[in-house]
Amino acid sequence: MILKKKSISLLLFVLIIFSTLNVNSIQIPVKIEKNSNNMIEKIKFNIRPSLSDLISKVNSTLIEKYIMDLQSFGPHPTGSSTIEKVKTYLYNELSSMPIQVKYHQWKYEDKTGENIIATITGKASSKNIIIGCAHYDTIEISPGADDDGSGVAAILMMTSILSQYDHNSTIKLILFSGEEQGLLGSKEYVKELEEQDANIIGILALDKIGYTGEQGTTIRHHADPASSWMIDLTEEITKKYKDEIDLNIQRLPFDGSSDHKAFVDKGYSGSNLVEETLNPYYHTSEDLLKHMNISYLKKVCQLATCTIATIAYGNSNLTNNDIEILIKGKNNNQYQAKLTIKIKNKKYNFDTANLSITIEMNHLLRDEPVNIKKEYYLVPCIWNFTEEIKQDWQFHIGQQTYSIGLFILKISVHGLNDDFSISKKYSTIGLIFPEYNLLIISK
């Protein structure tokens, strides 16, 4: 009886100690899943980490080791015997983490290769997917420490951290091949995702993120207008965690030089982070670790990890089907070019929709936006809004003077905060006559 009382007292003491600790800083694995080969597939944790926790886990020594390992292989272009060795190395590194890893084989004309895909399946929805990516191939003369060993190292580091936790949306961390030959690996992979009816929330590409000038406090973030919400998110993170990350975001227009482009071309959101100053050793035999700034790369990796995690944590009560995009004003009279775009939340009495809304009017036969003439200025017809929509929200395009021609009107809606899984697009074709006449031709 005395022993039993002592056991109960000890148990109560332990519970009291745990209740007084800051549980946000504790990671207690509650379940370990293994496959038939007794390999760990996933370690599940009860506690969602704070972004500060994730930031603190980024290890510059390990990042540097990854780059040194990749550099030691020498140049490894797609199709070479060397890239096969690099591929095996990367696959083994990822397979040592508690995640699902697979090869994705692709073929384009006479070229072939394999992408490496690590997946952390979302517990709320496996079909809502956020992607972080880099490319592991180089050009023929370069060992590729910065291009793109820096991005690959960041993806490995990010995977090792994020794989320790559950997330609401699925995270795919992808290492593409064939990038240097025209984004081939990503172009072929996005075709497969289209067929799977997956909801691609967005893709963040990390390509050349390890070289900087003296300060090392700025990262360039490129995005098309419909993907600008991704820049907004990185700005919010860097402001909130200024002391930990210490980076400034330079907002820049779309840059189609990396693998996110294949996804943007298919209508998905995509952006890329690029180093502050272009590496002068880029695409040379001197693209080596000794010319890089690892402390700067660590900051970029911290930012990228927080960005992917924030999106994956979102758990919306709303779905794409709850958001409706309507265009009113199909028939415009001779002197009035009035157009109304309506975004409707069909479940407004259940939850509000936190949305980033982008409206673009682009000439169909010319690679340029439709312009509005305001006094002596031409202003591109591109509008961006951040709105919390209860029942509905309307945007009126009033009586303006437009540049004439056929145009395509594109409306993109992306969720913010808890609604990151919402991602919806709408487009229609119209015709602009001289002066004020604007006509929607088709829906």
DSSP string, 65-120: HHHHHHHHT----TTSHHHHHHHHHHHHHHHTSSSEEEEEEEEETTEEEEEEEEEE
pLDDT band at 71 (very low <50, low <70, confident <90, very high): very high
Domains 28-313 and 320-442 share a fold: no
Residue 335 pLDDT exceeds 60: no
For 240-266, the pLDDT digits (tens) are 999 999 999 999 999 999 999 999 999
The confidence score (pLDDT) of residue 336 equals 53
For 117-140, the pLDDT digits (tens) are 999 999 988 889 999 999 999 999
Residue 352 pLDDT exceeds 70: yes
φ, ψ at 345 (rounded to 5°): -100, 105
99, burial (CB in 10 Å: exposed 0-12, middle 13-18, buried 19+): buried
pLDDT band at 431 (very low <50, low <70, confident <90, very high): confident
Element (H or E) spanning 291, and its range?
A: none
Distance CA 426, CA 443 (A): 9
Distances (CA, A) of 179 to 229, 258, 443: 25, 7, 36
Amino acid at 122: G
Strand pairing class (248-252; 218-223): parallel
pLDDT band at 412 (very low <50, low <70, confident <90, very high): very high
Distance CA 71, CA 85 (A): 12
Average pLDDT over residues 198-205: 94
Average pLDDT over residues 194-211: 93
Residue 31 pLDDT exceeds 70: no
The confidence score (pLDDT) of residue 399 equals 67
pLDDT band at 400 (very low <50, low <70, confident <90, very high): confident
The pTM score is: 0.86
CATH topology of domain 320-442: Immunoglobulin-like (2.60.40)
The confidence score (pLDDT) of residue 372 equals 86
* Average pLDDT across the chain, whole number: 87
For 211-238, the pLDDT digits (tens) are 997 778 999 999 999 999 999 999 999 9
Produce one character per residue of 143-159: b if its CB has 16 or more CB atoms within 10 Å, e if not: bbbbbbbbbbbbbbbbb
Helices (H), 143-183: 149-162
The confidence score (pLDDT) of residue 38 equals 39
Distance CA 114, CA 137 (A): 10
- In the 8-state DSSP scheme, what is residue 401? E
Domain ranges of the chain: 28-313, 320-442
Is CATH 3.40.640.10 correct for 28-313? no
